[in-house]
Chains A and B, each alone.
Chain A
Amino acid sequence: MTEALLSSNHAAALAATLAARANRGGRGFGSGVYPITPQTECVELLCQQEIEKGHVVRVESEHSAMAVCMGFAFGGARTFTASSSNGLAYMAENVFAAGLYRLPIVMMAVNRTLGPPWNIWAEHGDTLMLRDAGWIQLYCEDNQEVADTVLATYRLVEDPRILLPALVCQDAFILSHTVARTLLPDQAAVDAFLPALNLPQRLGDKPRTVGGLDWPHDNEVHRRELHEAMGRVEAVYAEVQTAFARTFGRTLADPVVSYRMEDADTVLVSLGTTAATVRAAVDEARSRGIRAGGLRVRLFRPFPEALLTRALEGKKRVGVIDRDLCPGLGGILWAELRGTARGDGVVQGYVAGLGGGDIRVEHVLGILEDLVGRSHASAPVLWEVA
């Protein structure tokens, strides 16, 4: 175990490198990379690593970066790439292809506002746009979680019951460029944690056509299989948590992370680093007599509906803070969560921190006060934080 001051970009690159080297007994490692702010430092550091039985290909676009990863994966290699924002939008066609091919690719995404106009700061709309692509999506709250999630995700996605790609998401600059004390395990521990990848759909040497014409009924079956694999993610994730704790002696965060929820009647739900601010606001609100609680959705795909339903049971008021906006609808997390909350509680959507606006404790307290005063939900509120 080594401890270092690392940005989340560098933490992701080093974790991916550990996972890459761990497959040297298998068919190796490969990556297609393309720079985009604020992900660039991740792929730069990856390009500087010596990886036994591994190649990093510097390509000409995000679309090709994902295609190169798919080629590596079809050859049976472990793969990694990273992107952000408009890069993800440009890559999108191949993001879907990797999902539909069920290739266990791990991609680190730095959540950044889509442009134009150009804005390089945090917003979750870029990865949420890919929510239907057949990828597992995990949102991280700090640097340690980014490193741990990258490692743990390989074990999750390469499990023969899963075989799906995964996005490990982190907030632009708030994490990507912020240096924090981060623990990285030794190679031997990672080798023990990540057995060599054995991909059943490897292209191999037998005549067959992968991805050709699929009549409607076969297509239905293939989609159903993908959907069912998503349905197994939570159970396999729990096994990965156990193995992670046993191997590395640390806890891997839950799919849904609760904060002071036991006796809370007013709950704020959020993604990524917003949840850390929510925790501070919950403490402050409680000192003012509001029985507040926080819920962080770490696993967004598959959507942890049962976990959220259980966590929100009997809660009087639920506020969802989205750092994203689906124009004409509202926040995406709110829209997805609406259907899961049971009972007669109020579920109110708030959109805050668009374009990287700094969501501070006072903003969340304002949202809490607004929420406490509500007997009915209204249309989503665009909460300015500037």
Chain B
Amino acid sequence: MRPERLRLLSGPVPNEPVLGGLPQSAQDRREPILRPGNTNCGACGMSVGLQLLRHAVAERQVQMVVPACCGIVAPGPFPFSAFGAPVVASTFAAAAAMATGLAHVARLNGEETRVICWAGDGGTYDIGMATLSAAAERNEDVLYICYDNEIYGNTGGQRSSATPRFASTSTTPGGKSVEKKDIVGIMAAHRVPYVATLSLAHAEDTVRKFRFALGATGFRFLHILAPCPTGWKSEPAHTVELVRLAVRSGLYPVLEVFEGRRYVINVEPEMSVEDLERYLSLQGRFRKVATELVPMRAAVLEHWAELAQRAEREG
């Protein structure tokens, strides 16, 4: 990129998004977390998440630990780095443990550095589960962010325990037969200070939660539903729309859990069947096989009944 172009980009941008009453450029971290030249597919949910994270990080010092996942391929080959932050790769299952060490050294040296794990669903729900659980139990001063594309995207789209029921993947060509894990419930059960789900279609709420989580201490777990146009067989232009539909239909509850006990629902879903239908119809992974709307809808309602109970009883 030529320097003149760079200057143009850093100037005021017409029609820029306004977040929390402030134009985006007024809150941005000078350096994007995800810089141009990254290898992500177009409209990758992870990319959108990292751009929103940039606003929240602002001028805070951060260090990131990224386990094996698309996120560690994103920065491109050595010696280049499309990450605008210090990032170290951990082995697949070890992100939360490696971040533990970094966070302890920061504390031992009186540094304000926030240590962030940025991990996919495979490294979170599956292979990294024990490590994640243990770091949460120790209440390490780590912000763990899972961008959940509901498959092993980096290896070509195999099922994980985050893959939803009925979704066709390269290892469940006939559709997955079981529900995805309730990661929010699992993490909340660790009684960590903060657990939240983030909607890429609700930028203000998402940036607010990123900010809160960055400012809090102890173990914080954030979950992002991150559409993968490549794996979900969806149009890149639909990435944010898909999340919006998932939220509106009740499929993806947007909530916060404080200390594992106090549930707060941030976005009231319309629980519309039409939105659920549309969510499914926009993705090839649900079109290939006989996706049954009735049991999906039932599972959504059942989950909301649980959530309502938790929110009421605990709140």
Contacts and interface: CB of A to CB of B under 8 A. Distances in A.
A276 interface: no
B104 A74 contact: no
B101 interface: yes
A27 B108 contact: yes
A203 interface: yes
Contacts of B88: 74, 203, 209-211
> Most chain-A Cβ atoms within 10 A of its Cβ — which of B31, B94, B113?
B94
A72 interface: yes
Nearest to A26: B109
B131 A63 contact: yes
Provide the main secondary structure of the chain A interface.
mixed
Contacts of B91: 63, 67, 93-94, 97
B78 A213 contact: yes
Looking at chain B's contact residues, the main secondary structure is: mixed
Contacts of B134: 59-61, 64
Interface residues of A, number: 44
B86 interface: yes
B81 A209 contact: yes
Contacts of B90: 67, 70, 97, 211
A75 interface: yes
A105 to B, nearest CB: 11
Contacts of A70: 90, 94, 98, 101
A72 B91 CA distance: 15
Contacts of A54: 108
From A55, A79, A214, A215, residue with most partner B Cβ within 10 Å? A55
Given A61-B130, A70-B90, A30 B104 contact: yes
B99 to A, nearest CB: 6
B85 interface: yes
A211 B89 contact: yes
B83 A209 contact: yes
Interface residues of B, number: 45
A71 interface: yes
A30 B84 contact: no
B224 interface: no
A174 to B, nearest CB: 32
Interface string B88-119: 11110110011111111111110001000000
A68 B97 contact: yes
A213 B90 CA distance: 13
B78 A214 contact: yes
A263 interface: no
Interface in A71-85: 71-77, 79
Contacts of B61: 205
Contacts of A58: 138
B87 A208 contact: yes
28 contacts: A27-B109, A28-B105, A55-B104, A55-B108, A61-B130, A63-B93, A63-B97, A65-B97, A71-B100, A71-B103, A72-B102, A75-B105, A76-B105, A77-B105, A93-B91, A97-B90, A97-B94, A203-B63, A207-B35, A207-B87, A210-B87, A211-B72, A212-B77, A212-B81, A212-B89, A213-B73, A213-B75, A218-B77
Interface of A: 27-28, 30, 32, 53-55, 57-61, 63-65, 67-77, 79, 93-94, 97, 203-215, 218
